[in-house]
Amino acid sequence: MITDIESATPALCRLQLGSELRSLRLAAGLKASQVVRKLLWSPSKLTRLETGENSSVEQADVMALCEIYGAGEETRARLTGYAAVTKTRRDWWQSPEYRPAIRPVFKAFLGLEATATALHNYEPEFVPGLLQTEDYVRVIHERAHQGLSPEEVDRLVAVRMTRQEVLRRKDSPLRLTAIINEAVLRRHVGGPDLMRGQLAHIVEVAEELPHVRVQVVPFSAGAHAGMNGKFAVLHFPEGAAPKSIVYMENLADAWVGRREPDIARFTDAFTDLQALAPGPQESLRMIKEAIKEL
């Protein structure tokens, strides 16, 4: 339950609203199919509500669900309050400044990341997005998205840098565990000077913030569970729905996975990578050694 709705973000209100609506439905002994038939809704509409995917929620929809579930007056007032926040405030990524640079699936990911308690990220080629410097971000986008105007690149850079604020938010900053392939340290993105600054930034953030943990999978580790590519697993507050999600992306598309078998598969892969890689202190020493070699 959110104790201060006035200061809560729309993303957090959507997640909490969805979690409580799902709990009410289950307590009433109703299946999702029964609810959507009563309200003449599509199944996806209720799913989006319960998973917090809608950018805004109509109070009338919340009241209709509360009526079916037999929710009390206090609960109805709280849930419609959550819905009101989603209608009257915007998350930062919904502003005109950022919106043109964000694909729909990534917009959904940003909403999930903003409410997650922990992010487990494996990166075989890039520095993880939450640890990138502005110069590194700019070079990556200029190379990966050739043909974009300088203004479009600026917007992409701004999105990445603003996104990093989740690591420094006052209330419950995101706990980041990032595992990177040694290739990330050796690839000279933008040249030696830029890479020295980028690698030094990783060390600085990991040493400054106790909730940020970085590990490096060395070449000597051989074959490992992350060889099929990058992925991220997001974990949410206790009682939230979903409990965890998997996020993957490439140049052409992105994918958010909610199926328990997929989540279990990637969670296990990340656990294997954590066990295979040297611990955080040894990994930071590897990064510092790479800086010297540059």
Kind and range of the H or E run holding 176: strand 175-181
* pLDDT bracket for residue 37 (50, 70, 90): very high
Q: Give the span between the Cα atoms of 118 and 110, in whole angstroms.
A: 13
Tell me: pLDDT of 250 over 80.
no
* pLDDT bracket for residue 147 (50, 70, 90): confident
* pLDDT bracket for residue 229 (50, 70, 90): very high
Which has more confidence, 4 or 53? Answer: 53
Place of tokens 């070699």: 293
pLDDT at 257: 87
Residues pairing with 120 in the sheet: 177, 233
* pLDDT bracket for residue 239 (50, 70, 90): low
Q: What angle do CA 165, 276, 233 make, to 5 degrees?
A: 35
Tell me: pLDDT of 89 over 70.
yes
Q: Give the span between the Cα atoms of 125 and 220, in whole angstroms.
A: 17
The values of phi and psi at residue 233, to 5°, are -120, 120
- Terminal CA-to-CA distance of the chain, rounded, Å? 49
Stretch 242-270: mean pLDDT:
88
pLDDT at 55: 78
Tell me: pLDDT of 1 over 70.
no
pLDDT at 52: 82
For residue range 90-139, what is the model confidence (pLDDT) as tens digits? 888 888 888 888 887 788 788 889 889 999 999 999 999 999 999 999 99
pLDDT at 88: 87
Report all structural domains of the chain as residue ranges with CATH numbers, in order of start: 5-89 (1.10.260.40), 94-293 (3.30.870)
Stretch 69-92: mean pLDDT:
91
Tell me: pLDDT of 259 over 70.
yes
Could you tell me if 194 and 147 are in contact, meaning their C-beta atoms sit under 8 angstroms apart? no
Place of tokens 């903003």: 114
Pairing mode, if any, of strands 175-181 and 118-123?
parallel
Q: Give the span between the Cα atoms of 81 and 63, in whole angstroms.
A: 11
% residues pLDDT > 90 (the chain): 68
Tell me: pLDDT of 4 over 80.
no
pLDDT at 3: 59
pLDDT at 255: 86
Tell me: pLDDT of 187 over 90.
yes
Stretch 191-208: mean pLDDT:
97
For residue range 18-27, what is the model confidence (pLDDT) as tens digits? 889 999 999 9
CB 276: neighbour CB atoms within 10 A? 17
Tell me: pLDDT of 155 over 70.
yes
Tell me: pLDDT of 78 over 70.
yes
